[in-house]
């Protein structure tokens, strides 16, 4: 079976956690490293959440390294209104966490990413579903490893130029637009895959589906409880977006959930402009940036049900 070796860079986050649960139980995904960043919640909470989820729901003890606590040039923002103050909705809190991040003196997320890429040259896919700061830090500190990355997936931006945290910018783009620009400028020959605000807000499940998920044992109950207090800025109450699960599913060998097109991508990094963080995509068949245009929502939901069913075995 073909597998994708991934570095999962995230800021858990309800939908990040849902994507982690999929990755733990999908044989085609081989997690080599988990890195955390600020974003939906602060870095300390995001890291504790990642440790909690791995400790309680993963079959393997994946290494976790924390990275950026903030963006160099952008004020700190959060998404408490979407994910709750602890990032796991309003019912769940990370508790009794004994797993700890593996950071050492002067050795954090960027160094762990570098060494994982060097260990598996040409095989690692970076799936980054939070602010892109950790990836940009890797690129700036260790540019020689960029060419050894197989692919990069970003969950960032919007196709219509409209936002969620501002009228013009999606959350991840707004948190660190400079980091997004760094990746766009430096990825060069490494293919880039982009899911946007539109992907997640058209791929959601409703309350009835939440009830179905909740019947799949311990993990299903956890997914059900995660949804308590999870309120996407764009969707209606009782509609639960699968932003980060969609990003992960873009790389599934032999499976397709999206329509795609090749594009050029730019982002507004003018910190004096109210449109900072706004993304623009223009079709270019010769580009190595692949934009997800549409998503098969029912196919994604069916896939997630299959994953939850696998946890019962």
Q: Report pLDDT digits (tens) over 159-197.
A: 999 999 999 999 999 999 999 999 999 999 999 999 999
Spatial separation of the C-alpha atoms in residues 247 and 154, rounded to whole Å:
7
- Could you give the residue ranges of the DSSP H alpha helices within 98-176? 109-119, 133-141, 171-175
Q: Which two tokens stand for residue 253?
A: 């060998």
pLDDT the model gives residue 124: 98
Q: Which residues pair with 193 in a beta bridge?
A: 153, 290
Q: Which two tokens stand for residue 129?
A: 């579903």
Spatial separation of the C-alpha atoms in residues 52 and 133, rounded to whole Å:
23
pLDDT band at 233 (very low <50, low <70, confident <90, very high): confident
Percentages (nearest 5) of helix, strand, coil residues in the chain: 35, 20, 45
φ, ψ for residue 201 (rounded to 5)?
Answer: -85, -10
Side-chain-facing half-sphere of 139: CA atoms under 13 Å: 21
User: In the chain, pLDDT over 70 holds for what percent of residues?
Assistant: 100
pLDDT the model gives residue 41: 98
Residue 1 has pLDDT above 80, yes or no: no
Number of domains in the chain: 1
Residue-range definition of the domain harbouring residue 132:
4-310
pLDDT the model gives residue 159: 97
**In a 3-state reduction of DSSP, which class is residue 272?**
coil
Residue among 6, 2, 11 at smallest CA distance from 175:
11
Burial class (CB in 10 A: 0-12, 13-18, 19+), 182: buried
Here the CATH number for the domain that contains residue 71 is 3.90.245.10
pLDDT the model gives residue 2: 86
Judge whether 289 and 7 are in contact, CB under 8 Å. Answer: no
- Could you give the residue ranges of the DSSP H alpha helices within 84-154? 109-119, 133-141
pLDDT tens, 140-163?
Answer: 999 999 999 999 999 999 999 999
Mean pLDDT over 213-229 rounds to 98
pLDDT the model gives residue 301: 98
Q: Which two tokens stand for residue 187?
A: 């990825």
């Amino acid at each position: 079976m073909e597998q994708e070796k991934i570095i999962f860079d995230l800021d858990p986050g309800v939908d990040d956690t849902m994507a982690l649960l999929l990755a733990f139980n999908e044989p085609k995904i081989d997690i080599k490293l988990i890195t955390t960043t600020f974003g939906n919640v602060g870095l300390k909470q995001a890291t504790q959440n990642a440790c909690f989820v791995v400790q309680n729901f993963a079959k393997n003890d994946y290494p976790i390294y924390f990275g950026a606590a903030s963006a160099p040039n952008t004020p700190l923002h959060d998404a408490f209104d979407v994910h709750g103050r602890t990032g796991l909705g309003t019912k769940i809190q990370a508790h009794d966490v004994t797993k700890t991040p593996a950071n050492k003196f002067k050795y954090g997320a960027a160094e762990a990413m570098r060494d994982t890429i060097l260990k598996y040259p040409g095989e690692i896919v970076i799936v980054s579903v939070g602010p892109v700061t950790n990836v940009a830090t890797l690129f700036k500190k260790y540019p020689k490893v960029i060419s050894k990355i197989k692919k990069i997936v970003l969950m960032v931006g919007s196709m219509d130029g409209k936002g969620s945290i501002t009228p013009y910018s999606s959350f991840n783009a707004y948190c660190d637009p400079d980091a997004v620009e760094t990746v766009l400028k430096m990825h060069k020959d490494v293919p880039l895959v982009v899911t946007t605000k539109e992907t997640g807000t058209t791929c959601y499940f409703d309350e009835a589906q939440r009830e179905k998920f909740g019947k799949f044992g311990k993990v299903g109950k956890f997914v059900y409880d995660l949804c308590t207090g999870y309120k996407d800025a764009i969707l209606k109450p009782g509609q639960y977006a699968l932003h980060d699960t969609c990003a992960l599913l873009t790389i599934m060998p032999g499976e397709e959930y999206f329509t795609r097109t090749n594009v050029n991508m730019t982002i507004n990094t003018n910190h004096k402009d109210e449109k900072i963080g706004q993304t623009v995509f223009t079709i270019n068949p010769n580009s190595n940036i692949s934009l997800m245009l549409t998503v098969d929502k029912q196919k994604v939901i069916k896939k997630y049900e299959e994953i939850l069913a696998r946890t019962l075995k």
